[in-house]
A and B are shown apart, each in its own frame.
Chain A
Amino acid sequence: MPVAGLTDGAVEIAPGVHWVGALDPHLRSFDIILKTANGTSYNSYVVRGENGVAVIDTVKENYADDFFRRLESVARYDEITTIVLNHLEPDHSGALPALLRRAPQARVYLSSRAQMMLKALLKPSGEPPPAYIPVTTDDSVDLGGRTLRFLHTPYLHWPDTQCTYLVEDGILFSGDVFGCHFCDARLFNDRVGDFRFSFEYYYAHIMRPFREYVLDALALIEPLELTAIAPAHGPILRHAPRDYLHRYRELATPRLHNEARVEKTLLVFYISAYGNTRRMAEALAAGAECLGGVRVSLYDLEGGESGVFTDLIEEADGLAIGSPTINADAVRPVWDLLSSLTTVNVKGKLGAAFGSYGWSGEAVRLIEDRLRGLKLRLPLEGLRIKLVPDAGELDACRALGEQLARHLTGRLETREIDLAALA
Chain B
Amino acid sequence: MPKAKVTFEDIGVAVTVPAGTRLIEVSEKVGAGITYGCREGECCTCLTKVVAGGENLAPPSVLEDQVLKDNLAPRGHRLACQAQILGGELVVRPA
A416 CB contacts on chain B under 8 angstroms = 13-16
B33 CB contacts on chain A under 8 angstroms = 348, 377
B30 within 8 A of A: yes
Judge whether B45 and A375 touch: CB under 8 Å.
yes
Chain B proximity mask over A296-325: 1 for CB below 8 Å, otherwise 0: 000000000000000000000000000000
A189 within 8 A of B: no
A294 to B19 Cα, complex, angstroms: 39
A422 to B32 Cα, complex, angstroms: 14
Judge whether B29 and A419 touch: CB under 8 Å.
yes
Judge whether A412 and B11 touch: CB under 8 Å.
yes
Known contacts A419-B26, A422-B29; is A379 also within 8 Å of B70 by CB?
Answer: no
Nearest CB in chain A: distance from B57 CB, A: 16
Known contacts A379-B11, A379-B13; is A417 also within 8 Å of B70 by CB?
Answer: no
Known contacts A348-B94, A407-B11; is A112 also within 8 Å of B16 by CB?
Answer: no
Of the candidates A376, A407, A413, A422, the one whose C-beta lies within 8 Å of that of B30 is A422
Most chain-A Cβ atoms within 10 A of its Cβ — which of B7, B18, B31?
A: B31
Interface size class on chain B is 20 to 34
| Nearest B residue to A378, CB-CB | B31
Judge whether B12 and A419 touch: CB under 8 Å.
no
B17 within 8 A of A: yes
A379 to B33 Cα, complex, angstroms: 8
A-B contact pairs, 25 of them (CB 8 A): A112-B70, A112-B71, A113-B70, A115-B70, A159-B71, A348-B94, A372-B28, A375-B45, A377-B32, A378-B31, A379-B31, A379-B32, A380-B31, A412-B11, A412-B12, A414-B12, A415-B13, A415-B14, A416-B13, A417-B30, A418-B16, A419-B16, A419-B17, A419-B18, A422-B29
The 10 closest A-B pairs by CB, nearest first: A379-B31, A375-B35, A412-B12, A377-B33, A414-B12, A419-B17, A422-B29, A418-B16, A416-B14, A379-B11
Question: 6 other contacts beyond A134-B70, A412-B12, A419-B15, with CB at 8 A cut-off?
Answer: A348-B33, A375-B36, A375-B45, A407-B11, A414-B7, A415-B14
